[in-house]
A and B are shown apart, each in its own frame.
Chain A
Amino acid sequence: MKRFNLNLWLGGALVALVVVGAVFAPLLTSLDPVFDANLMYAEEPPDAQFWFGTDEQGRDVYTRVLYGARISLTVGIVSQIINSVIGLSLGISAAYWGGWWDDLVNGLTNTMLAIPSLIFALAIMAILGPGLPSLLIALGLTNWSWTCRIARSSTLSLKGLGYVQAARTLGYGDIRIMATQLLPNMIGPILVISTLGIGAAVLAEAALSFLGLGIRPPFPSWGSMLTGARELIVIAPWAAVFPGLAIFVTVLGFNLLGDGLRDLLDPHMRSRTA
């Protein structure tokens, strides 16, 4: 009984849309997101020339939204990769080696889970200062806990299985076992969490940039575009619509895609990852 996986296709389509916008931005607009600023055209409503209108500096919002996709996608994907690397290495090794290492990792994970993630990211940004690299590090260090938990519990249930023992008797080193025997079995849930995590990272970047602590103007981060829009809300409400819509569409795409992947790979994952 195969139901059509709407989540997967719709999510995939939205993500593809955003990726296309990001990758082909120079082809989709002739303007530069940072330097093509003409104060004569500041705060124009959407029209034939400026499809999404202009912002307070006279920059074309449409162009900035397109290039902003590059920032969001970069932050989302890279930070998730960092998250997964940290979470997987800590989680698998903790369950595999056990003992004090496991206790340490558990303690660290519990500590991390006690701090709301946006606040932790905020704290790290406070130290590192604003900018893309800091953002990647901050978000990369923040959201690894769930991946770690899942990796750990998967490893616990897998490590007693026959083929792991067999690998050991064959003389495989620990790292090799963890990488080749245990890791491939978790790809499913990890993929789902990572996809959903990209959405979360995009939201986090937007929030931090909105607060002025992430990507600073004049770079076209969707979040920082909304900071400017807030000032103009009364006279130029459209400036608030498009960047926010872009964030919404992107995150929705990743969320749907993640849900779709979950339904595809194992519908029973819901209770473990939701």
Chain B
Amino acid sequence: MLRFTIRRLLQVIPTLFAVALLIFVIFSVVPGSFASSLMADGRTAADPEMMARLNEQFGLDKPLYVRFADYITGLARFDLGTSFRTREPVLDVINARIWASLELAIAAMVFAIVVGVPLGFIAALRPGSLLDSVTMIGAVSGLSLPQFWLGLLLMYFFALVLGWLPSFGYGGGSWRYLILPAITLGVTPLALLARTTRAGVLEIANEDFIRTARSKGMSEARVVRWHLVRNVMVLVVTTIGLQFGSMMGQAVVIEKLFSWPGIGSLLVDSVSIRDTPVVQGTILVIVVWFLLINTFVDIIYAAIDPRIKQT
């Protein structure tokens, strides 16, 4: 098990390198550099000499491969560069806001799992029932909703009309501020988990070993507890891992909507002002988290399904 864990963790590194390369290449192609966007503000005239000086200051005049080499060596030292805007190390900028994002992501995922998976189970164990139909309609709707729209509506009802919850902001970490953003963010993974769980249960329920379990004289409840749950969890766990990725993408929008001080809103703000190092650094950090979570998911998967360790 330990060997498997280490192997999987090591596999993260080449992917991370490839991502860093891809992101770097994409951003090097930027026709307008930060310097020119400062100019474009209209505050300063586009003075070529000044632009050249700014570019030199930010190291943007060196050839591409040199810049990339510098970047990679920097990464190895956990140095993500310096923000164009605030001159702070990017890592510090991110560090200040990363906990808020993690809090939100975990809260949303917990919500999605705790509600979605049991819902999927119950729907599958009574196929064709009213509950099943309602759950499935709800699920496909949940997948079709623009999450930020849902957030807006929830914000309107629960914060502005009913006044039960605060409408935006972090509130210094108070849990009441977490509720609306977490639910908004969690709805889509919830919908997908409910669907996947239901499909998984229906698929497993047709397997031969379920018939064997019944032939042993087990009650249906026992068959579900002893043989169905674990086998379905294997399918569900993979979905959870993948969902984290798209959830992190959506979190960018939700954080902006609720003025949540996480790295998602940081990303959006930095893109708007073309603070490239922060943008690159944030994307990289998000990808690292996604990869780590997927590795964690794979490890859990291997713990449940003994066949995986062989591969």
B interface, how many residues as a size bin?
35 or more
A116 touches B143 (CB 8 A): no
* Most chain B CB neighbours (cut-off 10 Å) among A107, A118, A226, A256: A118
B195 touches A274 (CB 8 A): yes
B26 touches A123 (CB 8 A): yes
* Nearest-Cβ distance from residue A254 to partner chain B, whole angstroms: 8
Q: Is B299 an interface residue (CB 8 A)?
A: no
Q: Is A206 an interface residue (CB 8 A)?
A: yes
Which one of A113, A234, A251 contacts B146 once the chains associate, using CB atoms below 8 Å?
Answer: A251
Q: Is B266 an interface residue (CB 8 A)?
A: no
A110 touches B140 (CB 8 A): no
Given contacts A122-B271, A213-B272, A240-B156, contact A115 B149 (CB under 8 A): no
Q: Is B64 an interface residue (CB 8 A)?
A: no
Secondary structure at the A interface, as helix, strand, loop or mixed, is: helix
A248 touches B249 (CB 8 A): no
B26 touches A207 (CB 8 A): no
B18 touches A111 (CB 8 A): yes
* Nearest-Cβ distance from residue A74 to partner chain B, whole angstroms: 18
With A and B bound together, what is the CA distance between A126 and B267 in angstroms?
10
Q: Is B130 an interface residue (CB 8 A)?
A: no
B141 touches A252 (CB 8 A): yes
With A and B bound together, what is the CA distance between A252 and B195 in angstroms?
15
Which one of A117, A199, A223 contacts B246 once the chains associate, using CB atoms below 8 Å?
Answer: A117
Q: Interface 1/0s, chain B 113-155, versus A by CB < 8 A?
A: 0000000000000000000000000001101111111001101
With A and B bound together, what is the CA distance between A82 and B258 in angstroms?
33
Given contacts A247-B146, A274-B196, contact A118 B252 (CB under 8 A): yes
B144 touches A251 (CB 8 A): yes
B290 touches A255 (CB 8 A): no
Q: Is A37 an interface residue (CB 8 A)?
A: no
Chain B residues with CB under 8 A of A113: 245
B145 touches A248 (CB 8 A): yes
List the one stretch of B49-57, B212-220, B279-287 in contact with chain A. Answer: B279-287
With A and B bound together, what is the CA distance between A124 and B25 in angstroms?
11
Q: Interface 1/0s, chain A 222-265, versus B by CB < 8 A?
A: 01001001100110010011011001100110011001000000
Q: Is A192 an interface residue (CB 8 A)?
A: no
B148 touches A207 (CB 8 A): yes
Q: Is B91 an interface residue (CB 8 A)?
A: no
* Nearest-Cβ distance from residue A119 to partner chain B, whole angstroms: 5
* Nearest-Cβ distance from residue A274 to partner chain B, whole angstroms: 6
Chain A residues with CB under 8 A of B291: 114
A114 touches B15 (CB 8 A): yes
With A and B bound together, what is the CA distance between A111 and B245 in angstroms?
13
Chain A residues with CB under 8 A of B149: 206, 226, 240, 243-244, 247-248
B27 touches A127 (CB 8 A): yes
With A and B bound together, what is the CA distance between A271 and B30 in angstroms?
40
Q: Is A211 an interface residue (CB 8 A)?
A: yes
A233 touches B145 (CB 8 A): no
With A and B bound together, what is the CA distance between A240 and B151 in angstroms?
11
Cβ < 8 Å to A, chain B residues 8-23: 15-16, 18-19, 22-23
Nearest B residue to A213, CB-CB: B271
A126 touches B155 (CB 8 A): no
Chain B residues with CB under 8 A of A66: none
Q: Is B199 an interface residue (CB 8 A)?
A: yes
Q: Is A168 an interface residue (CB 8 A)?
A: no
B152 touches A229 (CB 8 A): yes
Beyond A115-B283, A256-B140, 19 additional contacts (C-beta under 8 Å) are A107-B18, A111-B19, A114-B291, A115-B19, A116-B246, A118-B250, A123-B27, A123-B283, A127-B31, A199-B144, A207-B148, A211-B256, A226-B148, A233-B152, A240-B156, A247-B149, A252-B140, A259-B140, A271-B203
Closest 5 A-B residue pairs measured CB to CB? A118-B249, A244-B149, A116-B249, A252-B144, A251-B144
Q: List 7 A-B contacts (CB under 8 A).
A: A110-B15, A116-B247, A116-B249, A119-B248, A122-B268, A211-B252, A213-B271
